Amino acid sequence: MTANERVSLALSGSGEHNDGAGTDAGRDNRAELQQMLHDAVAGRPFSELSSVTFDHRGIALAGEMLLAALRERGFGLEDFDAVGALTAAAVPLVIAVMQAAARRAKAIDGFVMDFVYPSVKGPSIRDKRVILLDSWLSEKSYVQTSSLVTLRNGNELNLDFSIVGHEQAQVLAVVALIGGLGANDSTAEDGSRTAETEDEGAFGTQNEADDAESIEIVNTVNDSRYSVPFVQVFEERDLRE
């Protein structure tokens, strides 16, 4: 048995792939990954989680748990075509999701968002349904070391997403291995939902996601706002207890 086969067997617990957390094997895998992340963030205001994402066991667990978190929010492998890294720290997670999907005979492409020279690195995402990934996305008062990606005002993500729109790709969700979503009040004083948009663009129409935690994308080019589901595998506060 090869090393990859041993990792795959250990993840499944029975020889069959199990990306859920409902079984004993799934719960054990989640608990193991949670402990690894807890150790990685202990005593640190921020970490790129390299000790986990470059660990052969840690990254395999992360790929499975990311798929499980997406599935729990209604995104199966048949619902998206590609996953993209918002930061350099998320690149291993993109590969992990691609490999976890491949173990299920599903081809998922990966790419990296380049915000310095606005472009997409990787296969074309034109007309594709994409999921955007980050390793740790939370509200910070400083610039993270890997990029300018950070949350402000609780749940606002300020980025130039024109490169996604240029490719006519549809962003389905933003996903983080660790999430620290702040106050998420998407209702205005008059009772209307402030984050909804009827524009059919890179982010589609989000009126159907009323019951889901969301993140507000603020386009730094034209200050337009879009609401998309925010999926987090672990909450920051749980890892700091």
CATH number at residue 13: 3.40.50.2020
Cβ neighbours for 97, distance < 8 A, ≥ 6 positions apart: 63, 66, 67, 83, 108, 110, 131, 133
Between 225 and 130, whose confidence is greater? 130
* Structural domain span for residue 210: 3-239
Asked if 231 and 172 count as a contact pair (C-beta separation under 8 A), the reply is no
Its pTM stands at 0.79
Residue 8's pLDDT is: 54
Structure tokens at 96: 């992990």
Residue 45's pLDDT is: 82
Structure tokens at 119: 């472009």
**pLDDT, mean of residues 75-83:** 98
Report pLDDT digits (tens) over 1-17: 454 554 554 565 434 45
Can you tell me which residue has the tokens 């799934």? 26
Residue type, 102: A
Q: How many CA atoms does the CB half-sphere of 230 hold within 13 Å? A: 26
Can you tell me which residue has the tokens 């999701």? 97
Rg of the chain over Cα atoms, rounded to whole angstroms, equals 17
DSSP code for 88: G
Number of domains forming the structure of the chain: 1
Report pLDDT digits (tens) over 169-191: 999 999 999 998 753 333 333 33
Asked if 46 and 10 count as a contact pair (C-beta separation under 8 A), the reply is no
Where on the phi/psi map is residue 163: left (φ > 0), alpha (ψ -120 to 50), or beta? alpha
Return the SS3 of 103.
coil
